[in-house]
Amino acid sequence: MRIIYLHQYFNTPDMAGSTRSYEMARRLVAMGHDVQMVTSWCKSDGRTSCFESVEAGIKVHWLPVPYSNHMGYFERIRAFFRFAVLSARKAASLEADIVFATSTPLTIALPAIYTAKRKKVPMVFEVRDLWPELPIAMGALNNPLARFFAKKLELYAYKNATSIVALSPGMKDGVIRTGYSSLKVAVIPNSSDIKMFRVDQSLGVDFGSQRNFLGDNPILIYTGAFGAINGVHYMVELAVELAKLKSNIRILLIGDGAKFNEVTDQAEIKGVLNNNLFIEKPIPKKNIPAALSCSTMASVLFIDKPEMRANSANKFFDALAAGKPVLVNYGGWMHELVMKHDCGLAMWNKLVPQVASELNIKMNDQDWLLKASISSRKLAEDLFGRNELASQLEQVLLAAYEGRPELSASIAPGSYNLVNS
């Protein structure tokens, strides 16, 4: 197939951030498909025209649309619509048998639908977050008119999708609630790249040796965004409670975002910055395996809102791939996975002092750490291997191309035998 793949925030391993689209696209190329990625060049470096590169066989078209997590709400909206216009023109100029578009933002549906109609080919839509429910819950969409149009855009995207890929069971439920056929919704979560994250221990040792402040202590790591929705302030509160316990645990935060300075300032005010909590700017995705290898336990953080519980955080699956226990501090299907498979600490609804006390015990218990690591690794291998999930994506795309989108749910049912999703 000739696949036009639309993703506004595509990253390669040399960049910081999620590489799901890169990993899926390069596997589709290896399966014999032609993949043209239409994405944005987010840096404000003076570029004014589109340029191309080839990344692991993927033909990438970079459109200069600056973007950053430090932008204000209206600046982001302008970036979304500017990319929608530019990417529609670019995508429509390419040859295609199918269009595959991945959110967020939801505005990615506009160039995808336009291109699919122009080319008279199917469009498969990937739902990474439940928009507009999530921005509404976060207070980013307070204007009634904006909410109205956002909901209309959601329905328009689904109506024009031949089939849909949801990144969690809860996201599938959200799509179905709009009236979309459950048979045409596949569940393909973020995945565990076992080959990438099973690195030689020397890489973890080297990573730690470059950070003498960590010493030989147990390390709780967070790698990801410092956005309003991530609630990274939680780690500052946790560091304060661990200090009260005179715990040997060290916390390492790696990332950036709108709340980076706020979190850093709070840590300094609370007296934990550079004592038992350390903060670094983002590192390339290709260096995350070494960081996880150095750590004792990984963490996945979000503020606890019902709309967030369906999320499919990359860092959760990276931790599983690395065979690391995972700390989850919010409810939802990943909380339940941790509980069911004993692969970490499910700390939803627990007060921070309780979490600190339990962490202090578990992260110094070598037997527990070993068992949790084995469970984490097994979960990655049994349910979330990236090669297997990429194969499912290929089958879903082929089914849409062949006019059989109703096979999507049977190809990737996303059944994890959880009590709630």
Q: Is 13 exposed, middle or buried (0-12, 13-18, 19+ CB in 10 A)?
A: middle
Q: Is 271 helix (H, G, I), strand (E, B) or coil?
A: coil
What confidence score (pLDDT) does residue 419 get?
Answer: 53
Question: What ranges in 31-139 are assigned the alpha helix state H?
Answer: 73-92, 109-119, 133-137
Q: Are 349 and 331 in contact (CB under 8 A)?
A: yes
User: Alpha-carbon distance 333 to 345, whole Å?
Assistant: 14
User: Alpha-carbon distance 72 to 77, whole Å?
Assistant: 9
What confidence score (pLDDT) does residue 421 get?
Answer: 41
Through-space distance between the first and last CA atoms of the chain, rounded to whole angstroms: 34
Question: What ranges in 260-328 are assigned the alpha helix state H?
Answer: 260-269, 288-294, 314-321
Closest among 222, 271, 210 to 242, alpha carbons compared: 271
Tokens of 260: 């980076």
User: Alpha-carbon distance 208 to 291, whole Å?
Assistant: 8
Burial 81-120 (b: 16+ CB within 10 A, else e): ebbbebbbebbbebebbbbbbbbbbbbbbbbbbbbbeebe
Closest among 154, 196, 256 to 22, alpha carbons compared: 196
Q: Is 163 exposed, middle or buried (0-12, 13-18, 19+ CB in 10 A)?
A: buried
> Which domains, and CATH codes, for the chain?
2-191+385-411 (3.40.50.2000), 194-383 (3.40.50.2000)
pLDDT in tens, the chain (421 residues): 999 999 999 999 999 989 999 999 999 999 999 999 999 998 888 788 999 999 999 999 999 998 877 777 778 888 999 999 999 999 999 999 999 999 988 899 999 999 999 999 999 999 998 877 877 877 777 788 888 888 999 999 999 999 999 999 999 999 999 999 999 999 999 999 999 999 999 999 999 999 999 999 999 999 999 999 999 999 999 999 999 999 999 999 999 999 999 999 999 999 999 999 999 999 999 999 999 999 999 999 999 889 889 999 999 999 999 999 999 999 999 999 999 999 999 999 999 999 999 999 999 999 999 999 999 999 999 999 999 999 999 999 999 999 999 999 999 999 887 654 4
User: Alpha-carbon distance 264 to 278, whole Å?
Assistant: 9
Tokens of 344: 């970490």
What confidence score (pLDDT) does residue 39 get?
Answer: 97
What confidence score (pLDDT) does residue 369 get?
Answer: 98
What confidence score (pLDDT) does residue 271 get?
Answer: 98
Closest among 381, 402, 406, 397 to 191, alpha carbons compared: 381
Tokens of 357: 């006390």
User: Alpha-carbon distance 42 to 45, whole Å?
Assistant: 9
Q: Are 39 and 112 in contact (CB under 8 A)?
A: no
Q: State the pTM of this model.
A: 0.93
